[in-house]
Amino acid sequence: MRFYLVLGIAVLLVAAVGCSSAAPASPTATTAAAKPASTQAAQPASGAAAKTVELRAGSSDAPDAPNSVAMFKFAEIVNAKSKGALNVKVFPQSLGVEQQLTQSVMDGSVDMGQCSNGNIGRFTDSFFVFDLPFVFKTYDNGLKAMVGPSGAPLLARYEKDLGIKHLFVNSYGSGRDIETTKKQVRVPADLKGLKMRVVSTPVDMSIFKAWGANPTGVDWAQMYTALQQGIVDGMQNSAVALIPNKHHEVLKYVLRLEYQPIFELNFINRKLFDSLSPDNQKILMDSASEAQAWDWKYKQELVGKTFKDLEAAGLVITTPTKEERVQWTSVREKVWQEVGEEYKGKLDLNLAKQMYEGE
């Protein structure tokens, strides 16, 4: 009995050794399993989907405001073109006002953002020339100059100053007008003593001082309250921005002056852009071109509708006569020279004259 017990144990031991050596683990499988998830995702594997790159994009405006609409369209195009490789998520009114959002993109805490050519003056002097009054005879001419040969070195400088990659310019459909709460304005003398909100550019300050107003800086997010409480008596913006931000509820008069082009610059953190694959970089830039073309057409159509809606809301819309417009444009040379001297080397008056005369 004892003999058979010992024999049985011996047989079991031999079988166990045979099983352990019969199917050795694959070295490849062991190496792959030991790698962190990010390393595995980078390895080409048949049937394995590439990891989606999530990109957070911010807009300081309401979801249906012109700038947010442009960013949402861009995100839609990117997400469709990339087929899951890129996922742009837009966060309106939640990542700070334009200047804060711009700083966040520069720091890398937000991936993408947008800022007007006026407000970006806190970070670069690249676009001071576009802030000069009456450089362009039409708004479209200003847009085309921005993305054409004249604007190329300016875009390159702003990319360098901010450490970003420029994506596209979105339109407002028309230039800056003058809007007021209590007093109708037809000529510069009507602005005397009025507190007018201006953007963060020394050029705008000089313009309204030359017109006799009291220029006052107010962050965009505070505009409704500032108008409602009388902190300022008016503002200067394109009409399409008024209704989405409910400014038409506290404004009464609009003077269609278009003294200055306004457009929105959309950009991505440079280090982040450079870290993306060439294919993903191309998708972003191709999508930016499509979004820009779509936006410019859409905003042209939106302007006409907006003025009808403003009139229906009770606002008085005025267009200056030829004689009245002469009074407004009379400050052009004074402001150009004044700002040109103060910001010599930062504002190219020769370029401004070429733009003006070349139209």
What pLDDT, in 10s, does the model give residues 234-255? Answer: 999 999 999 998 999 999 999 9
CB atoms inside a 10 Å sphere around CB 96: 18
Would the pLDDT of 334 be above 70? yes
Number of H helices, E strands in the chain: 15, 11
d(CA 337, CA 326): 18
Average pLDDT over residues 159-169: 98
Q: Are 258 and 140 in contact (CB under 8 A)?
A: no
d(CA 67, CA 3): 91
Give Cα separations from 346 to 127, 161, 257, 341, 349 (angstroms): 9, 13, 26, 10, 10
**Domain map of the chain by residue range?**
53-173+263-305, 177-261+306-357
Average pLDDT over residues 87-105: 93
Where helices occur in 245-277 by DSSP H, the ranges are 270-275
The share of the chain scoring above pLDDT 70, in percent, equals 86
d(CA 156, CA 164): 10
Residues with Cβ within 8 Å of residue 302, at least 6 apart in sequence: 66, 173, 240
Q: Provide the 3-class DSSP secondary structure of residue 254.
A: strand
d(CA 207, CA 338): 10
pLDDT tier, 62 (very low <50, low <70, confident <90, very high otherwise):
confident
Could you tell me the strand order of the sheet in which 112-116 lies?
Answer: 86-92, 53-59, 112-116, 263-269, 164-171
Q: How far apart are the first and last CA of the chain?
A: 113
Residues with Cβ within 8 Å of residue 78, at least 6 apart in sequence: 55, 86, 88, 283, 284, 287
The pLDDT, as a whole number, for residue 49 is 53
Q: Are 262 and 200 in contact (CB under 8 A)?
A: no
Q: Which two tokens stand for residue 85?
A: 């490789």
Mean pLDDT lowest among 15-19, 116-120, 153-157, 290-294: 15-19
Average pLDDT over residues 67-72: 95
Residue among 272, 276, 277, 282 nearest 163 (CA): 272
The pLDDT, as a whole number, for residue 101 is 95
d(CA 278, CA 284): 10
- For residue range 9-45, what is the model confidence (pLDDT) as tens digits? 343 333 433 433 333 333 333 222 232 233 223 333 3
CATH number of this structure's domain 177-261+306-357, picked from the four choices 3.40.50.740, 3.40.190.170, 1.20.1050.10, 3.40.50.720: 3.40.190.170
Q: Do domains 53-173+263-305 and 177-261+306-357 have the same CATH topology?
A: yes
Q: Please name the fold of domain 53-173+263-305.
A: D-Maltodextrin-Binding Protein; domain 2 (3.40.190)
Mean per-residue pLDDT of the chain: 86
Residues with Cβ within 8 Å of residue 153, at least 6 apart in sequence: none
The identity of residue 147, as a single letter, is V
Q: What sign for the dihedral angle of Cα 227, 233, 235, 239?
A: positive
The pLDDT, as a whole number, for residue 118 is 85
In the block, residue with structure tokens 């590439």: 50
Give Cα separations from 32 to 9, 23, 36, 82, 326 (angstroms): 38, 18, 9, 27, 75
The identity of residue 28, as a single letter, is T
Average pLDDT over residues 178-203: 93
The pLDDT, as a whole number, for residue 200 is 67
Residue among 56, 93, 88, 54 nearest 74 (CA): 88
Average pLDDT over residues 118-128: 90
Distance of CA 62 to the CA centre of its chain: 13
The pLDDT, as a whole number, for residue 50 is 65
Would the pLDDT of 355 be above 70? yes
Would the pLDDT of 48 be above 70? no
Where helices occur in 216-359 by DSSP H, the ranges are 223-228, 270-275, 278-312, 322-329, 332-342, 349-357
Q: What sign for the dihedral angle of Cα 149, 261, 139, 134?
A: negative
The pLDDT, as a whole number, for residue 269 is 98
Mean pLDDT lowest among 57-66, 245-254, 258-267, 281-290: 57-66
